[in-house]
Copies of this chain bind each other. A is one copy, B any other.
Amino acid sequence: MSADDKTSTEDKLIARFFAPLATHPGALGLSDDAAFIKPPPGCELVLKADAIVGGVHFFNDDPAHAIASKALRVNLSDLAAKGATPLGFLVSLALPKDIGEAWLKSFADGLREDAATYKCPLFGGDTVRTPGPVMVSVSMFGSVPEGMMVRRAGAKPGDKVFVTGTIGDAALGVKVRQGAAWPLSDAQREHLLSRYLLPRPRSALAETVRHYASASMDVSDGLVGDFAKLCRVSGVAADIDVARVPLSDAARAVLSADASARETALTGGDDYEILCTVPPSKVDRFRVAAMAAKVAVTEIGTIGEGEGVRFLGEDAKPLVFAHGAFSHF
């Protein structure tokens, strides 16, 4: 709160680490107070902000480049689920005083690599000191043809429920990180840990979702809780066949050793998979397009009339979960 001669510190930091990521002309090389952008013709912007905090959304000793990637990817995941193409992002970075150059270089490397991979350049932001842990707030904007953002509301009775990839890996990965003693191979452990460390947004499926899904969201707070939200806002009910929920080999290994881990997998969150509903008439085309996009999709249930979501176990009886969903809050 006192005046001191550090302007040049932030300016140099921005010039050295962040300006090289500002590749869009509207970012003005981060030399201005703001940036500008125009959505492509016939398109509108999709807007999303999601922040991650040390000790809450990542471990404080995670590699800085992975923290940067996670901050971008949790937002990229939302854009993909909405059927949007990334255009760019703003970042507010709160740093403890003892963060060194090596950390910053690694962080900027992570941002740069993902910005390039996902074609989502930096448009601006700011860097502030905090007496607390690292916090990375990303605001991301993408584009969709006007009126085409795929919403949570929109599921209709008869629609089929699909999910990408596999569910539960990241939530089980947190437990492994915290010392859970499950009998896993090194590769299985590594799979679960890496799924927590680095979300894999299903950006390749965005266009397919936009063309064929009636409702869509990404799974960040757990399949059970997130799907309940989708059904609630769509005004529908649903049955999910738990046996069909896609699991990785590693997750299967955990579940055969520890049946109680099933609830962690289904409610634990940090999946960053796409959960969407597809009208029966479009299911075949959806599957073909997903295959062309090289994203695995699995049908796990059907939308019905009424309200409430049932997760049916192998005896076709609804499961009851102690915890509805993971919350970072």
Chain A residues in contact with chain B, CB under 8 A? 1, 3-11, 13, 26, 28, 31-39, 44-53, 55-57, 59, 78-79, 81-82, 84, 90-92, 94, 123-133, 135, 137, 139, 141, 144, 146, 149, 151-153, 171, 174, 178, 217-218, 221-222, 225, 229, 233, 264, 267-269, 322-329
Contacts and interface: CB of A to CB of B under 8 A. Distances in A.
A29 B55 CA distance: 30
Contacts of A55: 1, 131
B90 A49 contact: yes
A164 B35 CA distance: 23
A154 B123 CA distance: 20
Given A92-B137, A128-B51, A174-B1, A34 B10 contact: no
Nearest to A1: B174
Contact of A137 (B133, B137, B267): B137
A95 to B, nearest CB: 8
A13 B188 CA distance: 38
A32 B153 contact: yes
A90 B144 CA distance: 19
The binding surface of chain A is classed by DSSP as mixed
A53 B94 contact: yes
Nearest to A215: B32
Contacts of A56: 1, 128-131
A290 B34 CA distance: 23
A221 to B, nearest CB: 6
Given A38-B146, A92-B92, 17 more contacts: A1-B174, A1-B178, A3-B264, A3-B268, A4-B323, A7-B326, A8-B324, A11-B229, A34-B48, A35-B46, A35-B48, A36-B149, A48-B124, A49-B91, A129-B329, A132-B133, A135-B135
A137 B82 CA distance: 23
Contacts of A153: 28, 31-32
Q: Pick the 8 closest A-B CB pairs, nearest first.
A: A132-B132, A139-B139, A137-B137, A49-B90, A51-B92, A10-B329, A38-B44, A6-B327
A201 to B, nearest CB: 13
A323 B8 CA distance: 11
Contacts of A91: 49
16 contacts: A4-B323, A4-B327, A5-B325, A11-B229, A32-B151, A37-B44, A37-B47, A49-B91, A49-B92, A50-B92, A53-B132, A127-B329, A135-B137, A137-B139, A139-B139, A141-B141
A219 to B, nearest CB: 11
